[in-house]
A and B are shown apart, each in its own frame.
Chain A
Amino acid sequence: MNGSFPRALLPGLAAIVLGVLFLALLLTFESQWSVGALLAGGAAVVFIASRAGLLSRAATSFDTHEPVMAGATILALLVLAAWFAEDHFPLLMLSTVLLMVTSCLGLTVQFGFAGMVNFAGAAFFGLGAYTAAVLVRYTHLPHLLSLPAGGLAAGILGSVLIWPMLRTKGHYSAVVTIAFAILFKTFLEVNDTLGGAQGMKIRNIVVFGWKPNQDIEIGSLELSHYLIYFLAALALAAVAFVFCRRLERSWIGLSMDAVRIDETAAACFGLDVRRWKIVAFTWGNVLAGMAGALYALMVGYVAPNNFTFGDSLILVSIVLLGGIGNVWGVMVAAALMILLPEKLQAIQEYRFLLYAVLVMLILLFRPQGLLPRPLRRYLPGGAGR
């Protein structure tokens, strides 16, 4: 320690501040013109920064000082939430983004690490949501338990689905997940106990004798109840991030990479290919299920239309856009993919079309994603000599 502020941190911190500022403006602006101008401005800044080599310096800060960057990101998001403390919509949006980040981190373990494409991400998210809804509505279990229960349900059902997936070769296992995604939604629609196509409402959630779905009054301040959910979603995303990161930087991540890249060679070096696929698929679904359960409690209702095959595609495109296997890329991509259609009515109706075009463009021109995954670094900081 020489007491001086490490200059290597600056580009990364600047990126975080600018990113959060961009988010704040995006969530504040109403008129389509100002949103459009903001997007153009943001794109210009990114372009110039990348030309000036600042982007890669920011990437280096994240690479070499990750704990500091992660802490700074959390802090910046907390400031952002405090800024919007009384407004429902921005907090709801931010929380949704964080829950999508958690789900996509799950997909990252499955797809980015172990190479299993999962086109049923939204179904596992929905499974967690419905599990939470049923627990709150039909049982007397503490409502907070619905979070782990949602993750557990998704993990268990996923480990049933994995068997037909392991029996199919190559990309056909992706077809199994597509079938499941469609089956799941159809099942919900025809099941009257679960509310059919209308879905069901969840009311009167109580956590430790306290009702998180009511706004909080402190003196003259009336804080949005979404603030609590934002904090919960942030905590969940942070845990998921640490989980993914440590997984990647361990023998488990190494084994999953080996399985993804060459199954036969991996098997010849003692790796149990099926085992690692099961592990990756199960944990990925647990993350999606927990995110789904929190989502259900937050919005107070669940309906089949929230968990369609189209939503699963969005999750996959976030992972593709962010850079397959890159845990930071997922965050940037999730924010863009979730918030832009909400704020730009012009693209809202065509969002699926746009996503499809975007995914094709990425696969054609930058198959490693916007932010390609860097080489593994087992220990934080230096090369670990």
Chain B
Amino acid sequence: MSGSLLKVAGVTRRFGGLTALDGLDLDVGAGEILGLIGPNGSGKTTFFNVITGVFPPNAGSIHFGGHDITGFAPPAIYRAGIARTFQRSRLCLELSVLDNILIGNQLRLTRGFIFNLLRRRRFADQYRAFRAEAVDLLATFDPPLARRIEEPVAGMPMILRRRIEICRALISRPRLLLLDEPSAGMTHDETRHLMDDILEVRRRLGGELAIIIIEHEMGVIERITDRCAVLNFGQKICEGSYRAVAADPLVQQAYLGVE
């Protein structure tokens, strides 16, 4: 397979007696957009948690960019080039917009004590450079928000929080972006805008960014994904283009809940 970026084979994850992921196989190519759908509780978020190392898999393997990352801790997986958003927004509410975005930039922040405490000139240079980058990135999504970068996130509406969260994930320039229900709590139009902005940033980054998106809005899935995979009870029941998947009787059964 040419250009397989993420290669998941036989991944299983249990919580006590519950098998949330059951022998899952999934491939994502570089620059591909994959839609991950399935009813509530089918294991989609768990899949993200397993890939990012929050919960290591009980069985199976995960390869990313040709390297085995099975069982790696979250920081190592982030360093390999996978960034994510969370289903329930997990920003640092008492910190500023800028702080929240820069937290995602850990890969490039100089962490040494000497640099941070004593080389304040050089620190200031680095700060200005990253700040400008954060403003640029945020301006793609929302120019007015880019001017409010010093304000605390607390009190900002959900749509702004989503944009900030996506910028936090993008500023590290990952190779794979995991979006967990980015449209939750937003209107149709807001979702449409958000997706357009994500695609725009992706294009500017050279189109090499692969995305896995968990989404209930089928319109979104249809419009932006190259391919879809459907989960039910932790198993992949179907995979293919949106059209093929939507027409699949197994999928219709899973969504309608008929046996």
Stretch at the interface among A128-136, A184-192, A252-260: A252-260
Stretch at the interface among A5-13, A203-211, A218-226, A265-273: A265-273
The reply to whether the CB of B96 lies closer than 8 angstroms to some CB of chain A is: yes
A residues less than 8 Å from B84 (CB atoms): 268
The reply to whether the CB of B116 lies closer than 8 angstroms to some CB of chain A is: yes
Q: Closest approach, in angstroms, between the C-beta of B108 and any C-beta of chain A?
A: 10
The reply to whether the CB of B131 lies closer than 8 angstroms to some CB of chain A is: yes
A375 x B103 contact (CB < 8 A): no
**With A246-B116, A383-B150 as given contacts, are A270 and B90 in contact (CB-CB < 8 Å)?**
no
B116 x A250 contact (CB < 8 A): yes
Q: How far, in whole Å, are A29 and B127 apart by their CA atoms in the complex?
A: 49
B residues less than 8 Å from A376 (CB atoms): 95-96, 99
Stretch at the interface among B75-83, B212-220, B233-241: B75-83
A residues less than 8 Å from B116 (CB atoms): 246-247, 250-252
Within A370-384, which residues are at the interface with B (CB < 8 Å)? 375-376, 378-379, 383-384
Q: How far, in whole Å, are A266 and B52 apart by their CA atoms in the complex?
A: 12
A residues less than 8 Å from B244 (CB atoms): none
B95 x A243 contact (CB < 8 A): no
Within B128-143, which residues are at the interface with A (CB < 8 Å)? 128, 131
B92 x A270 contact (CB < 8 A): no
Q: How far, in whole Å, are A186 and B109 apart by their CA atoms in the complex?
A: 44
Q: Closest approach, in angstroms, between the C-beta of A166 and any C-beta of chain B?
A: 14
Q: How far, in whole Å, are A376 and B153 apart by their CA atoms in the complex?
A: 13
A residues less than 8 Å from B74 (CB atoms): 264, 267-268, 270
Q: How far, in whole Å, are A347 and B107 apart by their CA atoms in the complex?
A: 53
A266 x B95 contact (CB < 8 A): no
B residues less than 8 Å from A363 (CB atoms): none
What 1/0 mask marks residues of chain B from 38 to 80 whose CB sits below 8 Å from any chain A CB?
A: 0000000000000011100000000000000000011100110
**With A270-B75, A375-B95 as given contacts, are A384 and B104 in contact (CB-CB < 8 Å)?**
no
The reply to whether the CB of A261 lies closer than 8 angstroms to some CB of chain B is: yes
A265 x B107 contact (CB < 8 A): no
The residue on A at minimum CB distance from B100 is A258
B109 x A251 contact (CB < 8 A): yes
Q: Closest approach, in angstroms, between the C-beta of B236 and any C-beta of chain A?
A: 24
Q: How far, in whole Å, are A261 and B52 apart by their CA atoms in the complex?
A: 19
Residue from B78, B84, B92 having most chain A Cβ neighbours under 10 A: B92
B124 x A271 contact (CB < 8 A): no
Q: How far, in whole Å, are A246 and B73 apart by their CA atoms in the complex?
A: 30
Q: Closest approach, in angstroms, between the C-beta of B29 and any C-beta of chain A?
A: 23
Q: How far, in whole Å, are A265 and B78 apart by their CA atoms in the complex?
A: 11
Q: Closest approach, in angstroms, between the C-beta of B46 and any C-beta of chain A?
A: 14
CB-defined A-B contacts under 8 Å, sample of 30: A243-B117, A246-B117, A246-B120, A250-B116, A250-B117, A251-B110, A251-B111, A251-B116, A254-B99, A254-B109, A255-B106, A255-B109, A257-B99, A261-B94, A264-B74, A265-B90, A265-B92, A267-B54, A268-B84, A269-B103, A270-B75, A270-B79, A271-B75, A271-B106, A375-B96, A376-B95, A378-B123, A378-B127, A379-B124, A385-B128
B contact residues vs A (CB 8 Å cutoff): 52-54, 73-75, 78-79, 83-84, 86, 90, 92-96, 99, 102-104, 106-107, 109-111, 113, 116-117, 120, 123-124, 127-128, 131, 150, 152, 168, 172
